[in-house]
A and B are shown apart, each in its own frame.
Chain A
Amino acid sequence: MTTKRALDKKSKAQAAKIAPVEKLPKQAKTGAMKFEYAPSLESTDIVRIEKRNRLFIGGKFIEPSSEAYFTSMNPATGERLADIAEAGDADVDLAVRTARKTYENVWSKMSGRERGRYLFRIARLIQERSRELAVLETLDNGKPIRESRDVDVPLVAAHFFYHAGWADKLNYAFPGQNVSPLGVVGQIIPWNFPLLMAAWKIAPALACGNTVVLKPAETTSLSALLLAQVFQDAGLPDGVVNIVTGAGATGAALVNHPDVDKIAFTGSTDVGKIIARAVAGTKKRLTLELGGKSAHIIFEDAALDQALEGVINGIYFNQGHVCCAGSRLLLEESIAEEFVAKLKKRVAKLRVGNPLDKNTDIGAINSAGELKKIKKLIQLGKDEGGEFFEPTCAIPDKGFYQRPCFFSNVSSSFTLSRVEIFGPVLAVSTFRTSQEAVLKANDTPYGLAAGIWSEKGAKIHKVAGQLKAGVIWANTYNKFDPSAPFGGYNESGWGREGGRHGLSAYLDVR
């Protein structure tokens, strides 16, 4: 409108001066219009989901001896997706015995170079079937297709490629020392990155010469079973990887099986503690990758608009179902008000909805139970007196959804600051000096990750050295690479995954 007004005034003022030029009568312009994105749904035709999904033992899909099945839901709709076999003690025992036999007779006799060939082949097949894997992951887990397509599946392939390269070079990873595989490895993985966690566990185990019994989370078994098909197609010898689906009892059977040499667990701190007690006093080795309450520190000299994106990615990536989520935001007081104002605007722009829509930023919460837990903690935060912000965007009627939200003016003593919510809920508090930032960041029973934003390199290095967290990102967040070790301090777990450090968890190094 201003242009029109300007011209009208100008026309009057200059009518005399520029007589020869015909005046341009301007029409009123249309005002700004809303730009809604029409649904852009990824087709699910590429995926064929079996009604009944059996156990994968000895290279074949077999019925569970218990004949018990449980239901897996699509969290985006709350509808039944498939039935999954529930492995009982006898099935777990069969899987471990098969893995042991394969270890003794086949896998431990194979050269590293040959093992590497299988891993390379698996990595390539994952790339070839990437769309199928991404769609299935989104259906089963509820995460946005954009993330399963652009983050999860590419990282899965990257983990197999990376570890394929190590398979024949293990002696060079630990110069001057002898390395040998551990034997049969029991691996229990969570539901937040079903396929990626399977890759994090299986790829290094196989590269190092171990055989595997994997138990996926009960709500997200399907992509692991599709991965089993990839193993078949790659010609991986039968019994090298065995997959036993089921819930807590199946996991307990695996943890307590006497012939397992190592347990690798990713999941909640509570279950991690139970596992640690169960393997205490046995020959079993143990690595635990548990919860977190990671601090994201924004200094006043940070690139604020980019820091804002880092914060968004840090807490709302994968609906906040990320063990290293930057769930505690620490803002330097001088920029806190401005930053919170920006954060409100930005959070209101996030698109919550059908995970299969290519434009969805925040998908479905993985299960009714998780959604209930998140809602309960949000209510607790309100009761404790945090200042709550939640956008008003529409969410689907069916399925499990939580709008991205945050609490500001949060104290370190609030439940919000101490308990892992594992959802799209951020707790914002402030600090005055870098010393205070470090004190607040370390004021947690966890110690998985941290983020630092400042344009001052020296400050980043100083603060990073003082933070008690396994992973520290500077001027970015949630960046994963198979060559970078990942793991935590204190209640965030034991051991590291990825990189050379991750290999040592699957080897006997002497």
Chain B
Amino acid sequence: MRSVSMTDKAGRTLALLVPPVDEVGATERAEFFTKRSIKKESKIHALYLAISMCDLTTLEGADTPGRVRQMCEKARHPVPPDVFQSVAGQKNLPPIPSVAAVCVYPSMVSTAVKALAGSAINVASVATAFPSGQAPLKVKLDDTRFAVSEGANEIDMVINRGAFLSGDYQLVFDEIAATKEACGEAHLKVILETGELGSLDRVRLASEIAMRAGADFIKTSTGKIQPAATLPVTLVMLQAIQDFYMKTGKKIGMKPAGGIRTAKQAIQYLCMVNETMGSDWLTPDLFRFGASAMVNDILKQIFKEATGRYYYDRVFSLD
């Protein structure tokens, strides 16, 4: 085990005992979940669950209120209810659920909050100088407070990868803790940007630091860097969450983001959660997908299960 010492806000020394990760073994175990064969009612169950865990996201410089409003409608009804009714009639499938949240830049939060009024959909905002995090702490915290004041109830922050890679874990910890404080009651998701960390050992260490510093969720990626979410990275983060839960009794959520495009992948992730964490984590409160393109592929699969045939892509709206 590797020991990393840090001081928390109250001046107490935290010694993080971070177990090493064997990349070969972790990858082999992660690939195991691609071999699971999920069919029939369990497939439908998984597909519905995946939609309800989805954070629909738009994080472009070109985002406009109009685009965000459109996405919010897609979030409420991934497919128009009457269209689905006509398809699902014979199989008696329940209505398609709304997604868990929409995720936007701080400047778009108020638009999203208005557009989602009356729904159960959460509004998440990226903050802390997303995606690079290369800004002074004060700017990052202001960014966070602004998003919260606009009505975001979930904040997706990025860790200071420069500090992490140079070994200044204390700074990484302090920034997360400060952001958590700035969040107030809003949920904090901490993005590790695993594609920039270089090893699964570091993914494990960054997970540990984020959870200790107050993360409600840990998240793989911004979606701006390749590779984004992968099965091995997600597995290692889930195992960190499991160990943290065994030690502290606190349940931390997990969000793989970026690179998950198909229903098949979504099911592989759900099998991994099921067999690594147990069914306790199979809820949008503790597991999310940062994946927008995935929703239409899932719809296509649900339509296929309902009718026995594949539908043309354009049956489903782009956003």
- Please give, as numbers and ranges, the residues of chain A lying within 8 Å of B37 by CB-CB distance: 37, 40, 358-359
Contact digits for B1-44, partner A, Cβ 8 Å, 1 yes 0 no: 10000000000000000011110111011000001111111110
* Given the contacts A35-B45, A35-B274, A300 and B118 also touching, CB distance less than 8 Å: no
> Any chain A CB within 8 A of the CB of B149?
yes
Residue of A nearest to B97 (CB): A30
Residue of A nearest to B36 (CB): A359
What is the CB-to-nearest-CB distance from B205 to chain A, in angstroms, rounded to a whole number? 13
Assess whether A301 is in contact with B20, with CB atoms less than 8 Å apart: yes
A7 to B116: give the CA distance in the assembly, Å.
Answer: 14
* Segment at the interface with B among A20-28, A110-118, A435-443: A20-28
Residue of B nearest to A37 (CB): B42
- Please give, as numbers and ranges, the residues of chain B lying within 8 Å of A475 by CB-CB distance: 22, 24-25
What is the CB-to-nearest-CB distance from B200 to chain A, in angstroms, rounded to a whole number? 9
Assess whether B21 is in contact with A305, with CB atoms less than 8 Å apart: yes
Assess whether A37 is in contact with B38, with CB atoms less than 8 Å apart: yes
B100-125 at interface with A (beta carbon < 8 Å): 110, 113-114, 116-123
Indicate which residue in A3, A20, A39 contacts B187 across the interface (CB closer than 8 Å).
A3
A20 to B22: give the CA distance in the assembly, Å.
Answer: 52
Contact count band on B: 35 or more
> Any chain B CB within 8 A of the CB of A387?
no
- Please give, as numbers and ranges, the residues of chain B lying within 8 Å of A397 by CB-CB distance: none
* Given the contacts A10-B185, A349-B275, A33 and B114 also touching, CB distance less than 8 Å: no
B105-147 at interface with A (beta carbon < 8 Å): 110, 113-114, 116-123
> Any chain B CB within 8 A of the CB of A280?
no
> Any chain B CB within 8 A of the CB of A304?
yes
> Any chain B CB within 8 A of the CB of A306?
yes
> Any chain A CB within 8 A of the CB of B184?
yes
Assess whether A22 is in contact with B185, with CB atoms less than 8 Å apart: no
* Segment at the interface with B among A11-19, A60-68, A426-434, A486-494: A11-19
Residue of B nearest to A27 (CB): B120
Assess whether B120 is in contact with A29, with CB atoms less than 8 Å apart: yes
> Any chain A CB within 8 A of the CB of B258?
no
> Any chain A CB within 8 A of the CB of B175?
no
Residue of A nearest to B121 (CB): A24
What is the CB-to-nearest-CB distance from A312 to chain B, in angstroms, rounded to a whole number? 10
> Any chain A CB within 8 A of the CB of B260?
no
> Any chain B CB within 8 A of the CB of A458?
no
Contact digits for B241-269, partner A, Cβ 8 Å, 1 yes 0 no: 00000100000000000000000000000
Assess whether A303 is in contact with B21, with CB atoms less than 8 Å apart: yes
- Please give, as numbers and ranges, the residues of chain B lying within 8 Å of A358 by CB-CB distance: 35-37
Assess whether A305 is in contact with B113, with CB atoms less than 8 Å apart: no
* Given the contacts A7-B185, A24-B151, A35-B270, A306 and B21 also touching, CB distance less than 8 Å: yes
> Any chain A CB within 8 A of the CB of B49?
yes
Assess whether A18 is in contact with B150, with CB atoms less than 8 Å apart: yes
- Please give, as numbers and ranges, the residues of chain A lying within 8 Å of B42 by CB-CB distance: 35-38
Residue of B nearest to A303 (CB): B22
A463 to B127: give the CA distance in the assembly, Å.
Answer: 50
> Any chain A CB within 8 A of the CB of B284?
yes
Assess whether A309 is in contact with B186, with CB atoms less than 8 Å apart: no
> Any chain A CB within 8 A of the CB of B64?
no
- Please give, as numbers and ranges, the residues of chain A lying within 8 Å of B236 by CB-CB distance: 305
* Given the contacts A21-B151, A37-B38, A32 and B185 also touching, CB distance less than 8 Å: no
> Any chain B CB within 8 A of the CB of A310?
yes
Residue of B nearest to A34 (CB): B279
Assess whether A7 is in contact with B114, with CB atoms less than 8 Å apart: no
Assess whether B123 is in contact with A2, with CB atoms less than 8 Å apart: no
A-B contact count (CB 8 A): 150
- Please give, as numbers and ranges, the residues of chain B lying within 8 Å of A38 by CB-CB distance: 38-43
> Any chain A CB within 8 A of the CB of B46?
yes
Indicate which residue in B29, B120, B274, B279 contacts A309 across the interface (CB closer than 8 Å).
B29
Assess whether B110 is in contact with A24, with CB atoms less than 8 Å apart: no
B53-71 at interface with A (beta carbon < 8 Å): none
A3 to B251: give the CA distance in the assembly, Å.
Answer: 13
> Any chain B CB within 8 A of the CB of A394?
no
Residue of B nearest to A8 (CB): B185
Indicate which residue in B19, B35, B40, B285 contacts A305 across the interface (CB closer than 8 Å).
B19
Assess whether B186 is in contact with A306, with CB atoms less than 8 Å apart: no
Assess whether A29 is in contact with B283, with CB atoms less than 8 Å apart: yes
A76 to B45: give the CA distance in the assembly, Å.
Answer: 29
Assess whether B39 is in contact with A306, with CB atoms less than 8 Å apart: no
> Any chain A CB within 8 A of the CB of B154?
yes
Assess whether B149 is in contact with A306, with CB atoms less than 8 Å apart: no
Indicate which residue in B38, B41, B117, B283 contacts A32 across the interface (CB closer than 8 Å).
B283
- Please give, as numbers and ranges, the residues of chain B lying within 8 Å of A27 by CB-CB distance: 120
Interface centre among A35, A150, A338, A359 (most CB of B within 10 A): A35
- Please give, as numbers and ranges, the residues of chain B lying within 8 Å of A476 by CB-CB distance: 24-25
Assess whether A18 is in contact with B149, with CB atoms less than 8 Å apart: yes
What is the CB-to-nearest-CB distance from B247 to chain A, in angstroms, rounded to a whole number? 9
- Please give, as numbers and ranges, the residues of chain A lying within 8 Å of B36 by CB-CB distance: 37, 358-359
> Any chain B CB within 8 A of the CB of A281?
no
B221-249 at interface with A (beta carbon < 8 Å): 236, 239, 246
- Please give, as numbers and ranges, the residues of chain A lying within 8 Å of B208 by CB-CB distance: none
Interface centre among A27, A30, A306, A341 (most CB of B within 10 A): A306
A304 to B242: give the CA distance in the assembly, Å.
Answer: 13
> Any chain A CB within 8 A of the CB of B296?
no
Assess whether B49 is in contact with A305, with CB atoms less than 8 Å apart: no
> Any chain A CB within 8 A of the CB of B292?
no
A31 to B270: give the CA distance in the assembly, Å.
Answer: 16
> Any chain A CB within 8 A of the CB of B216?
yes
> Any chain A CB within 8 A of the CB of B306?
no
Residue of A nearest to B239 (CB): A305
> Any chain A CB within 8 A of the CB of B286?
yes
- Please give, as numbers and ranges, the residues of chain B lying within 8 Å of A31 by CB-CB distance: 283
Indicate which residue in A6, A21, A33, A309 contacts B25 across the interface (CB closer than 8 Å).
A309
Assess whether B1 is in contact with A300, with CB atoms less than 8 Å apart: yes
What is the CB-to-nearest-CB distance from A348 to chain B, in angstroms, rounded to a whole number? 9
> Any chain B CB within 8 A of the CB of A259?
no
Assess whether A32 is in contact with B282, with CB atoms less than 8 Å apart: yes
Indicate which residue in B22, B24, B122 contacts A455 across the interface (CB closer than 8 Å).
B22
Give 11 pairs: A residue, B residue, CB < 8 Å, sorted on A.
Answer: A2-B187, A6-B185, A7-B153, A24-B116, A31-B283, A32-B280, A33-B45, A303-B19, A309-B25, A309-B28, A476-B25
A-B interface, 8 closest residue pairs, ranked by CB to CB distance from nearest: A306-B25, A303-B22, A10-B185, A40-B37, A358-B37, A27-B120, A306-B22, A32-B283
Interface residues in chain A, defined as those with a beta carbon under 8 Å from any beta carbon in chain B: 1-3, 6-7, 9-10, 13-14, 17-18, 20-27, 29-40, 146, 150, 300-307, 309-310, 338, 341, 345, 349, 358-359, 455, 475-476
